[in-house]
Structure 1
Amino acid sequence: MIEAIIFDFGDVFIDLNKQAIETEFRKLGLTAWHDDLDALNKEYEIGKIDELEFMQGFQKHLPNIELVDIRAAWNSILGDFPLYRLEFLQMIASKYRLFLLSNTDHTHIEKFEHKVGQTFARDFYSCFEKVYFSYEIGLRKPDENAFKYVINNHNLSPKKTLFIDDKKENTDVAERLGLQVWNLIPGTDDVTQIFDKKIIS
């Protein structure tokens, strides 16, 4: 019997346009995604560096590009957040303990809130008992400590907790820790199909 659900954010609730971010950075002159950019992203996602340091890290590869343009390219990954997903969440909020656990950064969250508006963002956040962003807690999936952080903070029973994420590396770790999991496939699955697919009954 599932009592709690831990959701990922990107490609579960908000659609991510990975092609757009690649296209936008190519337009700025970034020919390849360098290893140091990957490391930079991970540092920013756990709050080790601030937004300026992150953007300046990109600027080393794009010396003639303004920070504001780098920021716009970085945010181009954020797609739509359909209203029906929020309504679904509001419908199940009284039946389960809900949590959000997302690998994300300050820039993307600020852009999301601006994009959907304060009311929508507030309605979304209010569905959860607690929202956990990696840049605020200093932990990111698939580090098992990120999962333990949520489980321990709320005395959750792993076997009665469902974790939903679009990345298999994350659901694999959660499963090893004893959680029930759904590795949602973007474009094929939708979070609102949770009952239709018999993920929970």
Structure 2
Amino acid sequence: MIEAIIFDFGDVFIDLNKQAIDTEFRKLGLTSWHDDLDILNKKYEIGKIEEIEFLKGFQKHLPNAELDEIKEAWNTILGNFPLYRLEFLQMISSKYRLFLLSNTDHTHIEKFELQEGQTFARDFYSCFEKVYFSYEIGLRKPDENAFKFVINNHNLNPRKTLFIDDKKENTDIAEKLGLHVWNIKPGIEDVIQLFDKKIIS
């Protein structure tokens, strides 16, 4: 019997446009994703650096790009957040304990709230008992400590908790910790099909 559900954010609720971000950075002159950019991204996602340091780190590879252009390109990954997904979440919020656990950064969350509007964002956040963003808690998936942080903070029983994420590396760790998992496939599956998956009733 599932009592709690921990959701990922990107490609579960808000669609991610990975092609758009790749296209926009190529326009700015980035020919390939460098290892130091991956390190930079992960540091920003756990709040180890501020936005300005993050953007300047990109600028080292894009000397002709302005910081606001880099920020705009970075935010193009954020696609649509269909209203029906929010409505689905609102429908189940009275039946289960809901949590959000997302690898994300301040820039993307600021953009999401601006793009969808404060009312929409507030309605979304209010569906959850608690929202956890990696840049605020200093932990990111698939680090098992990120999962333990949520589980321990709310005294969750892993055997009665479902974790939904689009990345298999994340659901694999959650499963190892004893949680039920759904490794959702973006573009093929939708979170509103949750009850069709027979994971939950």
Bin the TM-score by the shorter chain.
over 0.9
Please give the TM-score of this superposition, normalised by the length of structure 1: 1.00
User: 2:141 corresponds to which residue?
Assistant: 141
Q: CA deviation at 1:18?
A: 0.2
User: 1:181 corresponds to which residue?
Assistant: 181
Moved >3 Å (runs of 4+)? none
Partner Cα separation in structure 2 for residue 175 and residue 111 of structure 1: 32
Deviations along 1:123-142, whole A, 9 cap, x unmatched? 00000000000000000000
- Matched residues, number: 201
Identity of aligned residues (%): 85
Partner Cα separation in structure 1 for residue 6 and residue 175 of structure 2: 13
Partner Cα separation in structure 1 for residue 163 and residue 105 of structure 2: 21
User: 2:155 corresponds to which residue?
Assistant: 155
Partner Cα separation in structure 2 for residue 96 and residue 198 of structure 1: 16
User: 1:87 corresponds to which residue?
Assistant: 87
Structure 2 counterparts to residues 111-130 of structure 1, below 5 A: 111-130=111-130
Structure 2 counterparts to residues 15-54 of structure 1, below 5 A: 15-54=15-54
User: 1:68 corresponds to which residue?
Assistant: 68
Q: Indicate the RMSD between aligned Cα atoms, in angstroms.
A: 0.3
User: 1:165 corresponds to which residue?
Assistant: 165
User: 2:193 corresponds to which residue?
Assistant: 193
The SS at the match of 2:185 is coil
Partner Cα separation in structure 2 for residue 190 and residue 64 of structure 1: 40
Q: Aligned letter for 1:159?
A: R
Q: CA deviation at 1:199?
A: 2.1
Q: Aligned letter for 1:175?
A: E
Q: Aligned letter for 1:151?
A: I
Deviations along 1:45-102, whole A, 9 cap, x unmatched? 0000000000000000001110000000000000000000000000000000000000
The SS at the match of 1:195 is helix
Partner Cα separation in structure 2 for residue 102 and residue 9 of structure 1: 6
Q: CA deviation at 1:33?
A: 0.3
Q: Aligned letter for 1:194?
A: L
User: 1:9 corresponds to which residue?
Assistant: 9
Q: Aligned letter for 2:166?
A: D
The SS at the match of 1:181 is strand
Deviations along 1:143-166, whole A, 9 cap, x unmatched? 000000000000000000000000
Structure 2 counterparts to residues 101-112 of structure 1, below 5 A: 101-112=101-112
Q: Aligned letter for 1:31?
A: T
Q: Aligned letter for 2:82?
A: P
Gaps of 5+ in 2: none
